[in-house]
Homo-oligomer: A and B are copies of this chain.
Amino acid sequence: MTIKELQDYLAKEFDIHFDNPDLLAEAFTQASYVNEHPNQGLKFYERIEFLGDAVLELIVSEYIYKRYPELPQGKLTRLRAAMVCEDSFSKFAKECHFDQYIRLGHGEELAGARQRPGLLCDIFESFVGALYLDQGRPAVEKFVRRVIFPKLDMGWFDHAVDAKTSLQEFLQRNGDVKIEYHLLSESGTENEPVFKVNVSANDKVIGEGVGSSKKHAEMQAAVQALHKLRAQQN
């Protein structure tokens, strides 16, 4: 696929129109391709990726800082690390079909580089860097609001924030909601106790959980509630 096709795809799919297509070309070109096409003055993506990485770091940081006003720094840091990482970015790159447009040398192509998470992650960052340089921060925010932020609601990063925090954030997005956890029963033996708990939102039960501690049971109840709420949403 050519850079021209990439431009058309970005215009159609994301309403993104580069003023300087050379920046876009640079963002999608690996060093191996430059080496195979000498004397054409081509550049490869690494410098733009350096910038894109910092752009993503700030936009994600600012978003979660504002979205989770009660989340302490440690959890913000964990959440950011889960969002701004090779695993996430390589998936976003695939979802955006960026893999199809990377310009690789033959050797790298044969070695399967096009599907390598490390490269996909780099290209996602370099694309964002190029978009930032060419169209400014609002364009990046628009792109990120579509590609990254919805994954928070889809539970992609729940492992980084505990389920009780996620549930609270989910329920209180549109205003205050009273969330309560109730101990329903305590059974089992002294060495192997079993706690049963439910969670309610404005006095309506929305989930139940069982665990070997009250805290663990509450977590399970929150996980179940989130699961149901998200299923209803879709």
Contact = CB atoms under 8 A, between A and B. Distances in A.
A54 B46 contact: no
B58 A76 contact: no
B46 A72 contact: yes
Nearest to A61: B54
Contact of A51 (B46, B47, B62): B62
Interface string A95-132: 00000000000000000000000000000000000000
Interface in A41-98: 46-47, 49-51, 53-55, 57-58, 61-62, 65, 71-73, 76-77, 80
A76 B46 CA distance: 10
Contacts of A72: 46-47
A76 B55 CA distance: 15
A72 B47 CA distance: 6
Interface residues of A, number: 19
How many chain copies?
A: 2
A77 B50 CA distance: 7
A76 B50 contact: yes
A39 to B, nearest CB: 18
Contacts of A49: 73
A126 to B, nearest CB: 10
A135 to B, nearest CB: 15
B54 A62 contact: yes
Contact of A50 (B47, B54, B73): B73
